[in-house]
C-alpha cells in the first residue's frame, strides 16, 4: 500500500463525508466546498482514489493559521499518515505567509502534537450552538 499526499486536492463532498463518517463517527453530511474555498490550504492522503486522511489549514488572512479537522480513517491509523499531514500543513502554511500555526486538540493527542513541535498555550473556547 502506497499512500499519496496531495496539497489542495479539493476532494468531493462524498469523499470527505465518507471519511468523516468513519474517522469522526459522524454520519451527518456536510457541504465542504465553502470551507475549502476559504482555506489557506488543505492536505489529502489517498489510497488510490480513496481519501483516507485529511487536514485543513484555516487562516485569519494575516500571520495566523489554524490546523483543523486532522483525521485518518481508522484502518489506516498508526502508519504515520497524520504525522505527514500535519508536517505538510505546517510547511504549506509557512510558505503561504503564516508566522504562527495554532491547533486545538483533545488531551489524548497532546503527545502527538508535542512531537510535531507544538507547545502548550492557554486558550479560551465558547460554544455558540447547542
Cα 78 to Cα 72, 83, 87, 107, 112, distances in angstroms:
9, 9, 15, 18, 11
- What's residue 36's pLDDT? 93
pLDDT beneath 50, residues of the chain: none
- What's residue 50's pLDDT? 96
Provide CB contacts within 8 A for 10, sequence distance 6+: 36, 42
Q: Please state the domain extents for the chain.
A: 3-115
The CATH number of the domain covering residues in 3-115: 3.40.630.30
- What's residue 65's pLDDT? 96
pTM exceeds 0.85 for this model = yes
- What's residue 114's pLDDT? 95
Other beta carbons within 10 angstroms of residue 54's beta carbon come to 27
103 vs 99: CA distance, rounded Å:
14
- What's residue 70's pLDDT? 96
Amino acid at each position: 500500500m502506497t499512500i499519496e499526499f496531495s496539497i489542495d486536492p479539493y476532494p468531493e463532498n462524498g469523499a470527505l463525508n465518507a471519511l468523516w463518517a468513519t474517522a469522526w463517527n459522524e454520519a451527518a453530511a456536510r457541504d465542504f466546498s465553502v470551507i475549502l474555498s476559504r482555506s489557506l490550504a488543505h492536505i489529502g492522503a489517498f489510497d488510490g482514489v480513496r481519501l483516507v486522511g485529511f487536514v485543513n489549514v484555516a487562516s485569519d488572512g494575516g500571520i495566523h493559521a489554524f490546523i483543523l479537522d486532522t483525521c485518518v480513517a481508522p484502518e489506516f491509523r498508526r502508519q504515520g499518515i497524520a504525522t505527514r499531514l500535519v508536517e505538510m500543513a505546517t510547511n504549506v502554511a509557512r510558505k503561504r505567509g503564516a508566522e504562527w500555526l495554532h491547533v486545538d486538540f483533545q488531551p489524548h493527542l497532546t503527545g502527538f502534537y508535542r512531537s510535531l513541535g507544538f507547545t502548550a498555550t492557554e486558550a479560551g473556547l465558547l460554544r455558540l450552538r447547542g
